[in-house]
Amino acid sequence: MATPSAAHHILLGVAIRLIRLTLASCGNSQVTSRMGNLIVAVIGASGYADSLGKKGTATDIILYDLKRGTDSVTFVEPTKYPERIAPLFYAVAMADKAVVVVDELNSTFGECLVMLQCSSVKGGCFILRNYLTRDRIEPLIRGTCLEKFEFAEDNPTLLRERFITEAAQQETETEAEGGVGTVPVDHAFNVKGVGPVILGTVARGSVTKHDAMQVLPGGKTAQVRSIQKQDDEFDSAYEGDRVGLALRNVEVADLDRGAVLTRDPAVKCSKLLDTHALLVKYWPAKIKTGMILHVGHWMQFINGRVESVSDEGDWRKPILTVALDRELIHRPGDQAVLMYLEGGKLRVAGTIELP
């Protein structure tokens, strides 16, 4: 039988746990630990993500939400792919992990693999259908980051459980990281009675309510009025958190997809890139002066003209000068995906290092 002292400690522990659960379920803004969140690209079969989460924002990418307690998964599915490469890039650029549904081995599947490799998506799973077997996939991913992908059963219930459990295991952040948060914008709209609201994922650092953040490109300053994560209010958000930010002192017109909110002084704008490229082994030909390429970074998809090309005997590692149509927002040393829309069956050429 428990002593009075032991019983007191047991009851106190239960009370503390109940208070924490109540605060979490109410989305109390004083809760300092982050919600576990995971973003998963779902590619290869249109509509597959509909079985994994509740449909939310739908444009050329569709967001599906899955939530359990304070943990959540956002599934992102590209629409109008393979007709357009941009939605595939956006979905993969947002993702921590990926679900690749494989109905047949064709050029579209190959292009998806190359996009995942160039975007450095290091985890996820393959769902094989139509009697395909893993021994036909493994040679295609050998030597790439996709070797770490698992082969999973075609069972949405098990997939939901798998990813919500992984979301709950994400590292918890309890302190702001120097206040230098960066949030690439993927959607923006006006909310009646609130004003401009953006959706995005904290790419680096942390964001705190009332922060003044620079809006790039353009250089305006917006103040964060409020922070929501999965419809709950919080005072702060941390790297990897999926957020909705209500803003002051800025218009929706300043917040197109690709805009970046930041307090990080290292973030810069570049319109002329002098860079080293690394072309994928499947890319068939040299990059030539005058070619129109697209550069993908964060939620930006920007076209530019190749002004000069040189190499040191290996045409798959060229040194490029690319003049962009508009400013690219990035940190020095970031990696971007290089695409060529006239590339036929493969439009993902490789990667570049940003200056």
pLDDT for res 34: 55
Residue with tokens 């007191």, as numbered in its chain: 8
User: Does 268-353 match 182-262 at the fold level?
Assistant: yes
pLDDT for res 29: 38
Q: Distance (Å, rounded) from C-alpha 56 to C-alpha 181?
A: 25
Domain ranges across the chain: 1-28, 37-168, 182-262, 268-353
CB-neighbour burial class of residue 202 (10 A; exposed 0-12, middle 13-18, buried 19+): buried
Q: Give the closest residue to 311 by CA, choosing from 286, 333, 293, 331.
A: 286
Q: What residues of the chain score a pLDDT lower than 50?
A: 1-32, 172-177
Strand partners, 62: 58, 77
pLDDT in tens, 201-254: 999 999 999 999 999 999 999 999 999 998 889 999 999 899 999 999 999 999
Q: Note the CATH architecture for domain 268-353.
A: Beta Barrel (2.40)
Please name the fold of domain 37-168: Rossmann fold (3.40.50)
Query: Tokens at residue 98, please?
Result: 């990926």
- Which DSSP letter does residue 147 get? G
37-43 sheet: strands from edge to edge: 54-58, 61-68, 71-78, 37-43, 97-102, 124-128, 150-152
User: What would the CATH number be for the domain defined by 182-262?
Assistant: 2.40.30.10
Q: Quick one: CA torsion of 115, 121, 126, 127, rounded to 10 degrees?
A: -80
Q: Distance (Å, rounded) from C-alpha 331 to C-alpha 79?
A: 29
Phi, psi for 178 (deg, rounded to 5):
75, 5
